[in-house]
Chains A and B, each alone.
Chain A
């Protein structure tokens, strides 16, 4: 079945461009130019994924993210010109699956859509529990990590951090989410834990820790485990 994508974007040029590019990739595309139109479409013609612009004529796209999250796990990829990290964090914490800053390339958008779709069934299917690629092998259930065939010893905290990132493989996990899930809600402000433990994890898992291949930094926002 063809995946239906709803593009919410008020700029006609970008809207047209996204419609053409996504249609060329085989998606069925519907578009909305405002929050109210998007809300109506969500009820009458529910899509499989939303690509959302933030600054809309009748309100902020963030409202739509919250409204959708109250009812479903419909994947939402935000595409906005706002680069302020605090805004990105707020959206991701509100439940957006991913965030792209304009200007972005179509290839980037397609990659984010693929990642978001992979997690689409996460309610039914178990989250990502294993990873194998480019010399790194992780098996969360067996608590085993290998690099180039040799076992790597991780401390319990390092393992929990890796597991949390891997479960959301390909998606940004914000600082707050990581700190809450790994260290507990009372440590949400201790971002230096992340700096230190991510450094240790990279030293153990990456070939070149200063140019990570798997454990990527989303500056000012969070981290992402790259799965492709």
Chain B
């Protein structure tokens, strides 16, 4: 309901003054025209004044002005003039008719006025409701929803208080509220019912207190002042606003709850995928090691020397592979557990490439790697261990999934230092490309083979932690290319 200005003395006499002026004006005009018009016309002039007064003023003033108009006509213009006596019976009828018409007109125009006022009020209320509903839909979190609710209440009522309950059932905000206010809010929440004048509960207070939500699902309360017991429409509007607000808040709360549940589920799913992947990836090489070792122990005398050599080599290779998985898992945990910032130092990519190559050259596929590193590359800020791990993983993958030459190149490009690893393997199926960097993802080609699917996920995590990117590209004549781009920062000064 619209803010009803409480009638101050200054406002109280204004309608009466308006009506008085209108009657005075009608008297003036009638006096001027006195010689030229009949008493009936003068009565009409007074009627105009009464109609206007009835439209612009309240009903009481309208009735008053009707009586005043008849009295003034009688006093000034009905002979004998300047008395309230009436000479002719005909004039008496004229005056009585006029009084009847004036009262009827004032009553009718008063009704028109109040209907148009209530139409405007209900339009305003409808607008407030729809604005609130729209703002609640847009609200991204509870704070925004509460703010929208407070705006809507303030636009409709004079003094409002809005509190919400947290998960422990405590009211927010509770500071700065008078004990009586808090008590009324708590009562409305506990009883899940509206209290205040006209509701049958707590009629003594000058406020309505409405719970937000229904019994069992109350998430707050609204207190509205002042609250005239007779203002049924205002109370209904308050209830409508409270209900829309409660629905909006509930929607946000349940959305948040379902998001949390979803995240927990996702974590659980990831964990079990991880366990499945790890146990598969640990079991396969372990099986190979156990098989080879037991064969060597039990059948050594009967196995050809070349076969024994092959088994020994496979024990070494599988063990190294296990060590690689462990390393990747540890680094992933390390990256996931905290920010990288404290360990960022100036690093030389040439140096990191060199140390990675130095290690891989001892392995069977090391000879296939062809390195092209541009001279005088800018230094990058990073963690050498992690960057080396990234390159090792990319090169390991290329070794595993391709047979020909592997090209490792590092050069300076406009958007950063670019390190790429390219092979001529079967490449990545287009369907797999999007999920390539997801943890625990293994492409079609790899399904039968090894790999925890951690390698590329770790690579991307490392690239991101360095402010860089890791991308996949298909090579023109077959094969894959992984491209690491690291930002070039202002270079440090060289010491003497």
Contact = CB atoms under 8 A, between A and B. Distances in A.
A71 interface: no
Given A85-B385, A199-B348, A203-B375, A103 B354 contact: no
A220 B351 contact: no
| Interface residue range, chain A | 20 to 34
A154 to B, nearest CB: 14
19 contacts: A83-B327, A103-B319, A191-B345, A192-B492, A192-B494, A195-B346, A195-B379, A196-B495, A197-B495, A209-B354, A210-B410, A212-B358, A216-B354, A216-B355, A216-B358, A217-B355, A219-B384, A219-B385, A220-B385
Interface of A: 83, 85, 103, 105, 157, 183, 187, 190-193, 195-199, 202-203, 208-212, 216-220
Given A209-B354, A217-B352, 17 more contacts: A83-B330, A103-B320, A105-B316, A157-B495, A183-B495, A187-B495, A195-B351, A195-B379, A198-B351, A208-B371, A210-B353, A210-B371, A212-B358, A216-B354, A216-B358, A217-B355, A217-B358
Contacts of A183: 495
Contacts of A208: 371
Contacts of A193: 494-495
A219 B351 CA distance: 9
B171 interface: no
A198 B410 CA distance: 18
B118 interface: no
Interface string B98-141: 00000000000000000000000000000000000000000000
Contacts of B358: 211-212, 216-217
Contacts of A85: 385
Contact of B384 (A210, A212, A220): A220
Interface string B311-341: 0000010011001000100100000000000
A85 B319 CA distance: 23
Nearest to B358: A216
A157 B495 CA distance: 9
Contacts of A210: 350, 353-354, 357, 371, 373, 410
B496 interface: yes
A212 B353 CA distance: 10
A79 B336 CA distance: 28
Contacts of B330: 83
Contacts of A212: 354, 358
A195 B496 contact: no
A197 B354 CA distance: 15
A190 B495 contact: yes
The 8 closest A-B pairs by CB, nearest first: A192-B346, A210-B373, A195-B348, A193-B495, A217-B355, A192-B492, A220-B385, A217-B351
A211 B370 CA distance: 11
Contacts of B346: 191-192, 195
